[in-house]
Structure 1
Amino acid sequence: MTDSPQGPPQTGGLPEYAPGQAPGQPPHPPTRRGGLALAALIVGISAFVIGWIPILGLLLGVAGIILGILAMRRPGGRSFGLAGLIGSSLAVLANVLVTIVVVVALVNSGIGTAVLTDAQPVITPCYSFNGPGDYLSNQSAEKTDACITTLELWGERDADGVINKTGVGSILGSVLVEPVAVASTDDWVPGGSLDDMVEFLNQSYFPQAGEVTSLKEAVTLDGVDANLTRMISTAENTRTKAFLTVFAPDIYQSAGEPVKFFLISFVIPEDNGEEIIAAAIDSWRWK
């Protein structure tokens, strides 16, 4: 009698099932990381590397976050998707911080939103700013040393009201900066604030210049609180008239007198008044 060889039981051609797999179910396919998970990882790494570039890093980071979330919902995509999500999130955070730093640096450097196409720098011992280039500087050394600025638009109007900037004739517009002695401001508003000074000028000085349309608009001159007052001029053909008022951060000297309050007036006969005012505000620097 011959012994039959021992071996594993024959299944008769029936399929073998993995643990936990019910009969009749097809075998589990092997787990694969799809292209979406790989894309999330690549975009996340790229966003993390260039996240410091404003706008570009932000856009790439947002795209990576979306891809990472979608990849994590796919079978086998959790690890790559999570890595892409983390890298992209860090990129977005870094990009926001860098953008804030860049904006603050631009503001502090004097690069503002308003840039005159034809500007002339005005420099005194107290301040500097950019004035309109087609206005003549009626400055003397004494005025400059006293921190007084006089820019004037000279010319004539033709029969149609068009301005011919001849440099002679009549004064059609001006940008003036006048320092006021501390003794005067203390007499007008003893120990007063900028708001008190604006109210005082509204009762005494502004009515002589025209009709006030906006008394108080808060602005800053090189980080110092200032006020912009707009009005309709009594002078014919004036398109824009406004006054900037500000207490300087330090006490300066003007013709031997200590000064701290400055009155800046704008009388603009053309349509570029807002541009001239904005450029002066943006470029203003205290010495």
Structure 2
Amino acid sequence: MYGRLCNAFSALTMRDCFGMRGLTNYHLSCCVNTLLQTFFATWEIGDLLDKWEAASARADTVPLELKRVLTAMRRDHSQPVPHRDFIHSLDRNGVRLNTQHDADEVFLSILNFMQQQMDDKPLALEIQNLYKISVETYLRCSECPSVQTLTSYLLSLPLHVKEDHDSLEDCMTSFFEHQELKGINCCFCAECGKKTPSKQGVKLLSLPRILCVHLKRYRNGHGFTQKLDCRVTFPETFDFSETLNEALSTDFAQSSWEEVQTTYGGHHRGTAYMLMYRRGSKEELQQPELSG
């Protein structure tokens, strides 16, 4: 179903970074701070932004302020990083201060701001391509050989979380399972000339260098938003050989693996909402060290 994909992913260790940098919680900026740490750990972003010479130095330019703060994070480690200008640039672009934000929404907003506000469009596209997941949505008629397909891409993989114990493997399997469309859900088939039962699903075409996984822990119903604190386990290294023919391992630059495991969720526990995985060689996967 997913073809022969030859990508492999390996852990990004602290040795691959410039070391951790302190970020103060400024006007409820903890969500943005976490994303800044992942952008810093993704060294490719800093390297690409270093190549960019902005034509304008406007204060509301998110990619310019991101470039500045990532540069500052590489310098003297004895002081917290001055990142207020970056946070204010987000505020001027609609990501408001003093507000609890969804990490995935802020992540996608920052990538979109880079596409919109960078005057070097090929360079902006290179940054987006670091996260681009190519997928094919298909609709297969159950009464004839007709198959309708649409190729698109995602910048993060949105995975539904069940309300009991779950795992990353189960969430991914559910995401790629086809759905039976019957009864009032039947779709029109041009070959049959009528609405027919069909199967709908998503095929993975390619994975990016950095895979962002969004665990959807919130449910809306009866006018309320409910957070799911249920336990969702995820491995330090993830082997796609049986599901997507891929191998992945987590990019957690801020913590040891033991600390990361405390974010599986459950009552009175921290809960992870976003996971970052880095692609590497199969040889690196054989030694998946993660230092703290």
Per the TM superposition, whether the score is higher than 0.5 is no
- Bigger strand fraction: 1
Q: Which has the larger radius of gyration?
A: 1
> Per chain length, whose mean CA-contact separation is higher, i.e. which structure has more relative contact order (CA < 8 Å, sep 6+)?
2
